[in-house]
Amino acid sequence: MDFPTIKTNFWDAILAIPIILVLTQFIKVFFKVPKWLVPSIALILGLGISIFISHKHNFLAGIFMGWFYGYAAIGTYASLKTNLITYRNKSSRK
């Protein structure tokens, strides 16, 4: 089996991850989904963007890069949230 050749654009990753972050926050606020479901929604959005927009001519490449887009958005959100909580706790101790 040959692995697919994946040609991704730098702008795909730069645009896809913030779009996924914003869309998951809108979905979380407007549809009141449980917190445990939000990472799955981010992964589905990442797969959707990659399969249908970024890599629409290569399904395997779309799935492969979609996982990266979704999980990059999940990690970015978790990192930002952890840093914000740490900063708030640190400034409240002073």
Judge whether 69 and 9 are in contact, CB under 8 Å: no
Question: Residue 3 pLDDT > 90, yes or no?
Answer: no
pLDDT: is 5 or 48 the higher one? 48
How many Å apart are CA 79 and CA 94, to the nearest integer? 23
Contact 45, 20 (CB under 8 A): yes
The one-letter amino acid at 10: F
- Of 27, 77, 70, the C-alpha closest to 46 is 70
For range 77-81, the mean pLDDT:
95
Res 11: pLDDT: 76
Per cent of the chain over pLDDT 70 is 93
Q: Is the pLDDT of residue 67 over 90?
A: yes
Confidence bin at 46 (pLDDT 50/70/90) = very high
